[in-house]
């Protein structure tokens, strides 16, 4: 899948499978949402007690294991880590808070637009704005420094943890939470959701699909490769929604969304900026986690922590709108992004070299 | 010919480093990458910038030689 056909096909399949997952029970415009699903898993294992968003999502398990299997097959499974781990953890928290203010990761943002939710347009504008800020810092030499080879166990632990999640989901011991109402109770059958994750995980591993990379590479290098995947999801998601009769164009009465344009913009600006610093969107972090990248695992752990904080502290938005606590958290997130960006840009601080 | 080593760097650093390298040394560069993702990205960038590439594999790394 070297050419552009692979990324377009991947985007198309992601768009269509997402609609099928909604048809089979997932919440509206939420065939996939990495932020929402990590949040649901955090709830499922009791890290937060928001009763409506607790479910160990098999899609996430499938994404990780699908990426791992294809990476092993193509000799790309490799234990790597040690690139600014705690900064990545904190950026994971920040990205999750931004996503839960908007109500979706970049992938769901695209799926929301494909379903006719026009509030997503403000999200996309904010997302692009956030990426633009991140790219400015990349131009100034921003880097989280290099990673290193690790021992094999570092690569296998996270996929193993996901097999553990699958066991908890299927065996459903009493200490695992399952929402009885709200988005967490809306779910496609386990086997189908798992298979959907495996397919999308494998394809995303091959094509390197990344929501933030599309706009970033276009701005930095004029390279449209990843952007084609982004656009393909919108086009095929739209077609799928049309075919299943889910298309509902407008701002009002959209599933799991609010109509506060400014905060949709700001929430996704946080996600765009943070994801550029991390080197990829939440989906990409999950795929890299399956490939043995411990830095991405740490980012995902940050997202779990961010999800728990977001619901324990009342930072997450709901259909009713944004919370005051969420707005304060957003201000803190922007401050953290600014500090991390400045402190890690060698053109702005520290040893200034003439030509590096 | 300018030589750079992008080993261990995450996205999009290898391409950014390559971009800076060809700005300083437009006649050609040699780029070391240590994974397939970076190899693909650097390859695509140098191809679209009009360079002819020679790629060889040594142990765990790829060496991409780019000339106009």
Classify strands B61-67 and B52-58 as parallel, antiparallel or unpaired.
antiparallel
Confidence band of A352 (pLDDT split at 50, 70, 90): very low
B36–A220 C-beta distance less than 8 A: no
- Chain B residues near residue A150 by CB distance under 8 angstroms: none
A39 occurs within a structural domain: yes
- Chain B residues near residue A226 by CB distance under 8 angstroms: none
Residue A2 confidence (pLDDT)? 56
Is B38 a known active-site residue?
no
pLDDT digits (tens, 9 = 90+) for A166-217: 999 999 999 999 999 999 999 999 999 999 999 999 999 999 999 999 999 9
Please state the pTM of the whole predicted model. Answer: 0.96
A321: β partners: A318
Alpha-carbon distance A63 to A195, whole Å? 9
Alpha helices (runs of H) in A208-252, residue ranges in sequence order:
211-221, 225-244
Long-range contacts of A171-176 (CB under 8 A, 24+ apart): A175/A46, A176/A44, A176/A45, A176/A46, A176/A56
Domain around A206: 4-343
ipTM of the complex: 0.95
Alpha-carbon distance B56 to A87, whole Å? 35
List B1, B3, B10, B11, catalytic entry: B11
A348 occurs within a structural domain: no
Flag whether pLDDT at A349 surpasses 90: no
Q: Domain count for chain A, please give it.
A: 1
Across the range B40-55, mean pLDDT stands at 96
Q: Which residues of B have a CB under 8 Å from any CB of A?
A: 7-13, 15-16, 19, 24, 35-37, 40, 44-45, 48
Alpha-carbon distance A108 to A116, whole Å? 12
Chain B residue closest in CA terms to A76:
B36
A59, A298 Cβ separation under 8 angstroms: no
Across the range A91-100, mean pLDDT stands at 98
B44–A223 C-beta distance less than 8 A: yes
Residue A356 confidence (pLDDT)? 41
pLDDT digits (tens, 9 = 90+) for A28-54: 999 999 999 999 999 999 999 999 999
Alpha-carbon distance A183 to A171, whole Å? 21
Nearest CA to A286 out of A105, A21, A73 is that of: A105
pLDDT digits (tens, 9 = 90+) for A315-342: 999 999 999 999 999 999 999 999 999 9
Name the CATH superfamily for B2-67: TusA-like domain (3.30.110.40)
Q: Does A151 touch chain B (CB under 8 A)?
A: no
Tell me the three state secondary structure of residue A53. coil
Residue A355 confidence (pLDDT)? 45
A18 occurs within a structural domain: yes
pLDDT digits (tens, 9 = 90+) for A216-225: 999 999 999 9
Alpha helices (runs of H) in A245-293, residue ranges in sequence order:
261-278, 282-290
Alpha-carbon distance A154 to A265, whole Å? 37
To the nearest whole number, what is the mean pLDDT of chain A?
96
A321 Cβ partners below 8 Å, 6+ apart? Answer: A258, A259, A260, A263
Flag whether pLDDT at B29 surpasses 90: yes
A355 occurs within a structural domain: no
pLDDT > 70: percent of chain A: 97
């Amino acid at each position: 899948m070297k050419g552009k056909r692979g990324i377009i096909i991947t985007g198309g399949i992601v768009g269509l499978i997402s609609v099928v997952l909604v048809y089979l029970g997932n919440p509206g415009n939420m065939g996939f949402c990495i932020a929402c699903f990590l949040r649901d898993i955090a709830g499922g294992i009791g890290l937060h007690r928001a009763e409506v968003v607790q479910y160990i999502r098999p899609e996430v398990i499938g994404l990780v294991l699908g990426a791992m299997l294809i990476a092993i097959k193509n000799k790309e499974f490799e234990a790597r880590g040690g690139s600014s781990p705690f900064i990545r953890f904190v950026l994971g928290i920040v990205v999750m808070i931004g996503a839960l203010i908007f109500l979706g990761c970049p992938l769901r943002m695209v799926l929301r637009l494909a379903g006719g939710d026009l509030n997503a347009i403000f999200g996309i504008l904010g997302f692009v704005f956030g990426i633009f800020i991140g790219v400015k810092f990349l131009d100034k030499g921003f880097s989280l420094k290099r990673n290193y080879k690790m021992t094999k166990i570092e690569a296998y632990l996270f996929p193993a943890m996901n097999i553990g999640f699958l066991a908890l989901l299927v065996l459903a011991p009493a200490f695992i939470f399952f929402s009885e109402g709200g988005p967490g109770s809306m779910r496609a059958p386990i086997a189908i959701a798992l298979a959907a994750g495996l397919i999308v995980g494998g394809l995303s591993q091959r094509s390197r699909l990344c929501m933030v990379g599309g706009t970033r590479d276009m701005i930095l290098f004029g390279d449209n490769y990843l952007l084609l995947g982004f656009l393909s999801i919108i086009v095929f998601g739209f077609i799928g929604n049309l075919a299943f009769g889910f298309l509902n164009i407008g701002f009002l009465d959209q599933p799991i969304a609010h109509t506060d344009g400014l905060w949709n913009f700001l929430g996704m600006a946080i996600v765009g900026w943070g994801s550029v610093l991390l080197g990829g969107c939440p989906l990409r972090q999950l795929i890299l986690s399956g490939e043995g990248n411990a830095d991405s695992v740490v980012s995902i752990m940050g997202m779990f922590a961010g999800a728990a904080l977001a619901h324990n502290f009342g930072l997450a938005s709901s259909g009713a709108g944004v919370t005051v606590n969420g707005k304060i958290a957003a201000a803190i997130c922007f401050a953290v992004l600014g500090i991390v960006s400045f402190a890690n840009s060698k053109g702005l601080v520290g040893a200034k070299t003439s030509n590096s | 010919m300018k030589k750079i080593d992008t080993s261990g760097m995450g996205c999009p650093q290898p391409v950014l480093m390559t971009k800076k390298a060809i700005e300083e040394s437009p006649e050609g560069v040699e780029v070391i990458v240590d994974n397939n993702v970076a190899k693909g990205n650097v390859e695509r960038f140098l191809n679209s910038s009009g360079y002819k590439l020679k790629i060889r594999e040594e142990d765990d790394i790829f060496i991409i030689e780019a000339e106009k």
